[in-house]
Structure 1
Amino acid sequence: MDTSEDLPNSNGNEYPGASGSKTNQKAGSNDFVRKLFKILEDGQYTEIAKWSDDGDSFVVLDTNAFTTQILPQHFKHSNFSSFVRQLNKYDFHKIKRTTEEKQNSQYGEHSWEFKHPHFKIHDEEQLDNIKRKSALQKKIMLDENTVLVKNQNGFDNGQLDSTTEMLLNNTVTKSKFHQMKRRVEFLEKEVTYLKNENYELKLGYQKSQSRYNTLLENLIATKEFSNVLVTNFNVLINSLTSQGLEFPATLTFNATMPTTNSIKPVGSPQMSSAVPTLPAKRSSQIESGPPSTTPQMILDHPILRPGFHVLLVEDDSICIQLCSKFLMKYGCTVEVVTDGLSAISTLEKFRYDLVLMDIVMPNLDGATATSIVRSFDNHTPIIAMTGNIEDQDLVTYLQHGMNDILAKPFTKDDLHSMLIRYLRNRVPLCEQREESQSKEAPTPPLPHDTDVSSLIREEPLTKKQHV
């Protein structure tokens, strides 16, 4: 439909309105333009289309009339839009106006004005310079190693436009893409493996560090026990010597006190907050006298006074059974709650020597529950029981008020080490309450002299005679 204006009729005659020898000579190349020029030059449709005042462009005054009267008779276009597209193919450009210019235009607000540098009034010779634009079609086929640019005349290996150059500069081959994809997948697997290995190493490191601290505490307790034995042995020798018994000089020993301050647990900068240093104070039991256990028993299980009351906050039934069994084995009494809200309400009513707090629980997690408990209780040790021991997790637990972390899964020795660390220098709360009650109990008054004499008088006579 759009290109039919450039072809002559089947009988060789011209289309209506296209007469004259010059038109016959130039027909076939730009017949559409020449017919339009002829219509404007004849001036028979000046109320519909005409030259502009300067003659450098033409104006369509009424597009509806142009469509109904001019197009059916002189052109094979069914609508005005098709006619405009045909003009664009010959490089005609519509002159754009602003809204204000359209309202003030002498040709009318709805007029269309078109311009071409070689399409001017009374200048038919310039029509030879108006050519239909070649339908250049570029087709880019990107394959692994092939780029094809094609137009109507064949292949063009000349200069490419900016869009094509950008595509070519940012295009990789299919083989390279798959190679990079395999490389990324390999790196992702390696990163996942390293993360898992790092987690296992951290867990193993924390367990080893806890066992080292336990062993160090056991060694210190053993040395203190040995010093007490040596001191008592020297006292015994001195006592027997003062009574006349003689002993070889080699049986005299000098007891040395342990230097706990010079021995420190090993800890990394990342884990130092999770593993507190050993206390330098001596056990109250060792200060009071030598225990009844042997040094080998102390090395295996440091002394823990019975009677400590522990609150176990845990929702896993298996963990509750194991922890309760271990705690009762070490002489502790246990009370169990299964979520953070219950732990808060229980700690508001009762006091405990130690709290073992799980992190992931229903209703309220352990870290949040600890931060709430710390608002009214800053003295009770709270130990976190969790398998999440990343550096950031450990910092979070300690910031919420927890004293230490017991990494899951843990052994009974790990639990015993934690109990020794926080309860070895403490007196059970039950004993503290008994002592306070005994101090508050009133003592009976001493008997008066008259009471004593009356007692003597009331003593049976037989007893007096016997005395």
Structure 2
Amino acid sequence: MEMIDEPSGSNGKPSYAPLRANQKAGSNDFVRKLFKILEGAEYNDIIRWTEDGDSFVVLNTNEFTTKILPQHFKHSNFSSFVRQLNKYDFHKIKRTNEEKQNSQYGEHSWEFKHPFFKIHDEDQLDNIKRKSAVQKKIMLDDNTVLVKQGGDNAGGLDSTADLIFNTAVSKSKFNQLKRKVETIEEEVNYLKNENYELKLGYQKSQSRYNTLLDNLISTKEFNNTLLTNFNVLVNSLSSQGLDIPPNLTFNATMPNTHTIKNTQSPQMSSAVPTLSVRKPSTMDSNPASTTPNMILDHPILRPGFHVLLVEDDSICIQLCSKFLMKYGCTVEVVTDGLSAISTLEKFRYDLVLMDIVMPNLDGATATSIVRSFDNQTPIIAMTGNIEDQDLVTYLQHGMNDILAKPFTKDDLHSMLIRYLRNRVPLSEQRAGSSSKDQHSPSLPQESEVSDLIREEPQIKKQRV
């Protein structure tokens, strides 16, 4: 039940009366009491009319709080009294600091004004109404309630609030939309998983295709060498007087690399493309026929390459070093990115195997610094982070390729073949030795198969 201010009783203390149901909500007893205090001029040293009579001023707020409020009002402090004035649309007169200092009422005085609150004009008090507020609540969700003010000031509601109320949806419709969003999210997650599986299948087929291509090129090289030597043998026997059938001399029938280059790589499929290879029938019974299989498993790599291994894991260092030395490479090991930069500033290497996550400085940042003074040395990233964005980041930092962890010795060997096949070891270049043997068959150019040899080697039996 709301309590309103009433004139004080005989004991000097205020008395209160309940607000009846048929009484107007805009009752201004508070204003009339304030008017009587000002008209009575009993507290002119604390509160009084201004000279113009259209406003009143509180000269001393402390005295007003201790002497007038307890006896005539129910408010316990001056701030509460000011809030009550605001509810009746009284406004405080704002003054600058200079005006406050020169004010005849004192620097700390408070002046209030209302258009219908004037000296000796009690009839105008009926026009002063207390602001009424009717609240309308709308539940936007389980935790949010929007409150709309109504009543006398409802017309002043800004357009933004009106727009919210006019376009608000019901709770049932909101829950229905929420369920639809959850369904769409489930479908998106399913498609993400399906896309990931397709991506793995594509990577696996790409790795198989690259291996098959390397084996095909190696078989062609071996076949050319074998047939060349066979023709030399036939010519030698003919020069010794032996009768050689005229149709015994033949040339290599392996498809050339230009034909291979036009072959399209598999797209999002786990099937491995089939390429036919015709072997000479006369070699089937020869014990040396096992040699091609050996070369197919390990394509030819010139010995003497010097590799810098940047890795902080001791097990990975041991296995990588073992594999590299098995393929005829010499290895130097550093364990962080800063050491790699310092070493590459002093020495040159045929190839750099760079781990990504390392202490002091990561591999990608180290590579970007190395590229400021060395753009020639191939730098291969070794990492288990092979998301699309990660791969783009590594390449943007200057890395040539990515060797995905965990990798096998065959994966490592394929990477060495890809970048060192047509290179002469730096040690031989410095020694001024010949880059190729004159009698050895020419090797295919890297540009002829670069479109078919791609990244993303897959997981196999023995892992690094």
- Shorter-normalised TM-score: what interval? 0.5 to 0.7
User: Alpha carbon RMSD of aligned pairs, Å?
Assistant: 5.4
The correspondence for 1:225, drawn from 222, 232, 237, is 222
Q: Is 1:425 aligned to 2:418, yes or no? A: no
Q: CA deviation at 1:360?
A: 1.8
Q: TM-score of the superposition, structure 1-length normalised?
A: 0.60
1:114–1:326: structure 2 CA closer, same or farther, 3 Å change rule?
Answer: closer
Equivalent AA in structure 1 for residue 362 of structure 2: D
Q: CA deviation at 1:408?
A: 1.8
What is the CA deviation profile of residues 152-199 of structure 1, one whole-angstrom value per residue up to 9, with x for unaligned ones? Answer: 9xx99x989448646645765555666666666666666666556656
Partner of 1:253: 250
Structure with larger Rg: 1
Cα distance 1:103–1:170, how it changes in 2: closer, same or farther (>3 A)? Answer: farther
Q: Alpha carbons of 1:387 and 1:191: their partners in 2 closer, same or farther (altered >3 Å)?
A: farther
Could you say if the C-alpha distance between residues 42 and 267 of structure 1 is closer, same or farther in structure 2, counting changes exceeding 3 Å? same
Please name the residue that 1:274 is paired with.
Answer: none
Structure 2 residue identity aligned to 1:213? N
Relative to its length, the structure with more strand (as a share) is: 2
Conserved? CA contact 1:89–1:133, under 8 Å:
yes
Tell me the secondary structure at the aligned position of residue 383 of structure 1: strand
Verify: 1:142 aligned to 2:139, yes or no.
yes
Structure 2 portions without partners, runs of 5+? 15-26, 268-287, 435-464
1:259–1:130 Cα change, 3 Å: same
State the Cα distance separating 1:260 from its structure 2 match. Answer: 2.4
Q: 1:183 to 1:313 in 2, by over 3 A?
A: farther
Describe the superposition over 1:103-162 as per-residue Cα deviations: whole angstroms up to 9, x where unpaired.
6666666666555544555555545x345526545363638799999999xx99x98944
- Partner AA of 1:227 in structure 2: N
Conservation of the 8 A alpha-carbon contact between 2:356 and 2:382: yes
SS of match in other structure, 1:415: helix
8 Å CA contact 1:91–1:116 kept in 2: the answer is yes
Asked if residue 322 in structure 1 is aligned to residue 324 in structure 2, the reply is no
Find the aligned partners of 2:259 and 2:345 in 1 and give their Cα distance. 40
Among 382, 385, 388, the alignment partner of 1:385 is: 382
Q: C-alpha separation between the residues in 2 aligned to 1:376 and 1:30?
A: 86
Structure 1: unaligned runs, 5 residues or longer: 16-28, 270-290, 438-467
CA spacing shift, 1:436–1:173, aligned 2, 3 Å: same
- Is contact 1:56–1:120 with CA below 8 Å preserved after alignment? yes
In structure 1, the residue matched to 2:394 is: 397
Secondary structure of the corresponding residue to residue 212 of structure 1: helix
Q: In 1, Cα distance between the equivalents of 2:351 and 2:210?
A: 19
Once residues 71 and 350 of structure 2 are traced to their aligned partners in structure 1, the CA distance between those partners, rounded to angstroms, is 108
Change (3 A) 1:398 1:180: same
- State how far apart, in whole Å, the 2-side matches of 1:73 and 1:309 are: 100
Taking a change above 3 Å as real, the CA distance of residues 164 and 356 of structure 1, as seen in their structure-2 partners, is closer
Q: Which has the higher contact order (CA 8 A, sep 6+)?
A: 2
Please name the residue that 1:355 is paired with.
352
For the residues of structure 2 that align with 1:401 and 1:75, how far apart are their CA atoms? 80
Alignment of 1:445-464 (within 5 A): none
Separation of aligned partners in 2, 1:425 and 1:54: 104
* CA distance 1:100–1:175, change in 2 (3 Å): same
Determine the C-alpha separation between the residues in 1 that align with 2:4 and 2:47. Answer: 22
1:160-239 aligned at under 5 Å gives the runs 161-162=157-158, 165=162, 168=165, 201-202=198-199, 205-238=202-235
Partner AA of 1:320 in structure 2 = I
Question: How many Å apart are 1:57 and its aligned residue?
Answer: 4.9
Tell me the CA shift for residue 415 of structure 1.
1.9
Contact 1:57 1:119 in 2 (8 A): yes
Question: Structure 1 residues 41, 346: CA separation in 2 closer, same or farther (over 3 Å shift)?
Answer: closer
Preserved contact between residue 308 and residue 428 of structure 1 (Cα < 8 Å): yes
CA contact (8 A) 2:305 2:350 kept: yes
Distance verdict in 2 for CA 1:327–1:195, change over 3 Å: farther
Matched-pair identity in %: 77
Q: Aligned equivalents of 1:315 and 1:388: distance in 2? A: 16
Q: Distance in 1 between matches of 2:72 and 2:354?
A: 95
Aligned equivalents of 2:134 and 2:245: distance in 1? 118
Aligned CA distance change for structure 1 residues 341 and 267 (closer, same or farther; 3 Å): farther
How far, CA to CA, are the matches of 1:77 and 1:379 in structure 2? 85
Q: Displacement, 1:371?
A: 4.6
The answer to whether the Cα contact below 8 Å between 1:224 and 1:258 also exists between their aligned partners in 2 is no
CA distance in structure 1 between the partners assigned to 2:312 and 2:234 by the alignment: 58
- Letter paired with 1:405: I
SS at match of 2:319: helix
1:410 matched residue in structure 2: 407
Secondary structure at 2:407's aligned position in 1?
coil
TM-score by length of 2: 0.60
1:393-435 per-position Cα deviation (integer Å, ceiling 9, x unaligned): 3344345444332222222322222222233334556666777
Q: How far apart are residue 358 of structure 1 and its match?
A: 2.0
C-alpha separation between the residues in 2 aligned to 1:81 and 1:427?
Answer: 90
